[in-house]
Amino acid sequence: MSTLLDIRNLTRDFRLGSSTVTALDNVSLTLNAGEILGIVGESGSGKSTLARIVMALDLPTSGTVVLDQQDLFDLNPRALRKARRDFQMVFQDPYGSLNPRHRVGRIIAEPLHLIADAPKGSQRRAMVGALLADVGLDPEDQDRFPHEFSGGQRQRIAIARALITKPRLLVADEATSALDLTVQRQILDLILDLRRKHGIAVLFITHNIGVVQDICDTVAVMQNGKLVEVGTAKAVLDAPSQIYTQRLLAAEPRLDVIGRKARHRS
């Protein structure tokens, strides 16, 4: 399986007055095409800084981010804009990331400005409708506004928007943390279904290590900007080698257990 995302020696320092805070400290990771890599850690561990740099929304102090053999920070603005169709993001707040003044169809179609020959008119509407169906909503929902949907439904809309450019990489930054446990389980199952259908790779960022058992191929645990443990999801969750990872596991609910109980009841 080929490497899609290659993060090498990534460091990000921030100046605070006369002092320097290191948010990322020499982080190196790889993600293969079609795989899901979970980035886990408490608030302040550097997860979201990593996500922003991978999305080229922030610049590293040093290090590289190579997506599909292109160093994102070697690209000129025009080339980076063109490359963005290959990597999209789903944010934590499924309401705050959707413009409340726009109908769902317009919101989902927004990233199509990255594609010069994107469909228009009825073809665009059909494309949006097909994506809504893919994420478990009605194609006619594109005529409604975000406030008419539940939190879980709004996150489905955000996922549909991220998928419309047919990206190879989806960055999900705490995409389930604002949802209750049952809805979290549904969104995780949706991501797995979309991975199977579209072959998309996912960088799944969460503070809750308990959500990664059923969804991630590999898990990387971060603490204070550093990687402290990396391995298969099974190895990290069943036999963590670091005390910090053990503490995270002890503190969080396990959605894989919730999923098994729900399946048993049904």
Element (H, E) at 6: strand 3-16
Compute the distance between CA of residue 138 and CA of residue 62 in angstroms, rounded to an integer.
45
- 70 and 83 Cβ atoms separated by less than 8 Å: yes
Question: Which pLDDT tens digit goes with each residue over 93-137?
Answer: 777 888 999 999 999 999 988 887 888 899 999 999 999 999 999
Compute the distance between CA of residue 5 and CA of residue 28 in angstroms, rounded to an integer.
11
- 27 and 226 Cβ atoms separated by less than 8 Å: yes
Question: Which pLDDT tens digit goes with each residue over 230-260?
Answer: 999 999 988 888 999 888 888 775 555 544 4
What does pLDDT average to over the chain?
Answer: 89
3-265 placed in CATH 1.10.3720.10: no
- 89 and 55 Cβ atoms separated by less than 8 Å: yes
Predicted confidence band at 263 (pLDDT cuts at 50, 70, 90)?
very low
Give mean pLDDT, residues 215-226: 94
For the chain, which residues make up each domain, given as ranges?
A: 3-265
Compute the distance between CA of residue 32 and CA of residue 19 in angstroms, rounded to an integer.
37
pTM of the model: 0.87
pLDDT computed for residue 39 by the predictor? 95
For residue 88, what are its two tokens?
């999209």
Question: Which pLDDT tens digit goes with each residue over 164-196?
Answer: 999 999 999 888 877 777 888 888 888 999 899
Predicted confidence band at 145 (pLDDT cuts at 50, 70, 90)?
very high
Question: Which pLDDT tens digit goes with each residue over 40-95?
Answer: 998 889 999 999 999 999 999 999 999 999 999 999 999 999 899 999 999 887 77
pLDDT computed for residue 113 by the predictor? 85
Judged by average pLDDT, the poorest of 94-98, 166-170, 200-204, 219-223 is 94-98
- Select, from the ranges 16-20, 179-183, 208-212, 260-264, the one with the highest average predicted confidence (pLDDT): 16-20
Give mean pLDDT, residues 217-240: 92
Decide if pLDDT at 266 tops 50: no
* Angular region, 121: left φ>0, alpha ψ -120 to 50, beta rest: left
